Structure 1
Amino acid sequence: MSNKTLELLQKRRTQYALGKDLPLSADMVEGLIKAAIRHAPSSFNSQSSRAVILFGAESEKAWGLIEAELRKIVPAEDFGPTEAKMKGFAAGAGTVLFYEDEDTIKGLQEQFPLYADAFPRFSQHSAGMAQLAVWTALAEEGIGASLQHYNPVADAALAEAFDVPASWTLVAQMPFGGHAGEIGDKTFMEDEARFRTHGK
């Protein structure tokens, strides 16, 4: 059976070897990212996901800030692998900083008190769907990416550098760029350990 959605999901893979060259213009990539987040589902149509989209030197700056914060907590003698990762992410063409807006979540909690405890969890669901939507859209255009979580280590530094509203909480970073290397095969656990089907 041919299924376009499954084909795209299979195409979306983690690419650590990133380059500066993109198959689309920066404006087109920006539009793609915005559209993917705009059309991603969110609970109660909250549209709580936010993004800071960085290209070129601004993306490199972000990874420099993250590296500087990591140097404060990772022993110098152990920092080599972390430094290599930072340089790899900075080698890409850009980065998406994914945020969730706490003011939106608080507003929903006040509007729907019965679900108040659940809205932070719903927000994380929305964040994950936004990330997958962007990643898959980039993959469809031949753009490599990976999903990183260097938060809350560098939250304050990034917020100051890129004028991020105080109500936005950083949830993930996605460096992206041209494919500068091969992607290894993906392995899967056995279906029997992961799925249950009843009533078929």
Structure 2
Amino acid sequence: MSITKSLEKRRTYYNIDKNIPVLEKEIEEKIKEVTELVPDAFNMKSARVVIVFGEKHDLLWDEIYEVYGGKVSREKIDSFKAGAGTVLFLYDEETVKGLQEKFSAYADNFPVWANQANGMLQLAVWTVLRELKVGASLQHYNPVIDDKVKDLFNIPSQYRLVAQMPFGGIVSEPEEKDKEDIDQRVKIVR
């Protein structure tokens, strides 16, 4: 499948369940593969991924609900909990700081570049999940949940949580997206 076709199939799936059409091991291997392939500035390799399955996935979303103290609806949280797992995206602030010290002329850019690389990784994981016929969505409950997530999964304190991606079997397809006037966002200069 071409990258364009893969990106076209990648959608936000909110209606997911625990019935994934592949083995968990296949998801793990594909996520490891794309994590290694996604580029980043200065080859810093700051991105970190934690994949949570089963009861730990359910616990994650129950704890997110608790941390928010009911300010996020139980129905919304349960829609993510209904999935088979969650990918947590983080980056290592110590790696970033080390490069800031080593290349001080670029110091201000390294956190930006770490976030850019993480964004590319999120898209790559989201796309590869869809290629596996697994649906996912990208969520941002951080920084409110950061401490709880680090405690739950023994994540080092220097890792910064960036996003959460609940995934699962596709229960229903999302509605078709309207085509935009892409010329409003893309300028051609010759």
- The bucket for the TM-score relative to the shorter chain is over 0.9
State how far apart, in whole Å, the 2-side matches of 1:187 and 1:20 are. Answer: 29
Q: What is the CA-CA distance between 1:31 and the residue it aligns to?
A: 1.0
Instruction: Find the counterpart in structure 2 of residue 48 from structure 1.
Output: 46
Alignment of 1:103-118 (within 5 A): 103-118=94-109
Alignment of 1:137-156 (within 5 A): 137-156=128-147
State how far apart, in whole Å, the 2-side matches of 1:167 and 1:174 are. Answer: 21
Instruction: Find the counterpart in structure 1 of residue 61 from structure 2.
Output: 63
- Asked if 1:167 is matched to 2:189, the reply is no
Secondary structure of the equivalent of 1:97? strand
**TM-score, with structure 2 as normaliser:** 0.97
Secondary structure of the equivalent of 2:48? strand
In structure 2, list runs of 5 or more residues that go unmatched.
none
- Asked if 1:123 is matched to 2:114, the reply is yes
Cα deviation code 1:83-140 (max 9, x no counterpart): 1110000000000010010001001101110000111101110110010110010011
Secondary structure of the equivalent of 2:165? strand
Identity of aligned residues (%): 43
- Asked if 1:189 is matched to 2:187, the reply is no
Instruction: Find the counterpart in structure 1 of residue 30 from structure 2.
Output: 32
In structure 1, list runs of 5 or more residues that go unmatched.
none
Secondary structure of the equivalent of 2:108? helix
For residue 173 of structure 2, what is the amino acid of its counterpart?
Answer: E
Stretch deviating more after TM superposition (112-121 or 178-187): 178-187
Stretch deviating more after TM superposition (29-38 or 157-166): 29-38
Secondary structure of the equivalent of 1:174? strand
**TM-score, with structure 1 as normaliser:** 0.92
Q: What is the CA-CA distance between 1:191 and the residue it aligns to?
A: 1.8
- Asked if 1:95 is matched to 2:93, the reply is no
Cα deviation code 1:169-191 (max 9, x no counterpart): 00000000000122111124312
Q: Which runs of 4+ in 1 moved over 2 A?
A: none
State how far apart, in whole Å, the 1-side matches of 2:58 and 2:85 are. Answer: 8
Instruction: Find the counterpart in structure 2 of residue 179 from structure 1.
Output: 170
